[in-house]
Amino acid sequence: MLMICVFYAEDVSLNPVTAYPFLILSDDRKQLKRGEKLQFFRNSAQRFDVWSCITAKEGYDTGRHYWEVSVGDNKDWKVGVVRDSAQRKGLFDMSPRNGYYVLWWSTNHLQALTSPPLTKVKMNGRLRYLGVYLDCDQGHVTFYNAKTGSEIYSFTSEGAFGERMFPLFGTSDKEVPLMLPGAPAHTYE
């Protein structure tokens, strides 16, 4: 029997309180890219200070959720999910052991940020539009090619996550922004 799954993308927006200080956000909080000068001055326990990342404003502690992000021709990006209690300050491994379930594109390679060593993810062609499916109750995070619907990679936790999980985005690209759906062409501050 053929099973067809349909995901309806949720509307997520970027949370500037968590942003690495050199990230530039669009006014509508739907796009981000790396800048060359400090953008955010007020420190926060939620703010990334080493990794060039930001979380969404929306967090989820139960149920199933799906969102998409356009990575386009961005040369260095991270997309995934992070536990609310996960470390954000300092240098650390972004891995499930530390509360991070993340894919990383850099130097033309896609990798899952698993405990060292990283896991190389094989793909056909260049990924430009990514879907993220989070099942809080089952402890699953699955990544899809949002254009083809094909599964790219999946993380599995031992049971429910048991806490609030936040969509995570990151980039070191100063030219090509990451964009959340519905983001119009936008100028940056």
> pLDDT-derived band of residue 173, with 50, 70 and 90 as boundaries?
very high
> pLDDT-derived band of residue 185, with 50, 70 and 90 as boundaries?
very low
- Residue 87 burial (CB < 10 Å; 0-12/13-18/19+)? middle
Judge contact between 132 and 7, C-beta under 8 A. Answer: no
In this structure, of 50-59, 131-140, 175-184, the range with the lowest mean pLDDT score is: 175-184
CA distance 128 to 163: 30
Q: Domains of the chain: which residue ranges?
A: 16-179
Assigned fold of 16-179: Jelly Rolls (2.60.120)
Q: What is the pLDDT of residues 120-144, one digit of tens each?
A: 998 877 899 999 999 999 999 999 9
What is the rounded radius of gyration, in angstroms, for the C-alpha atoms of the chain?
16
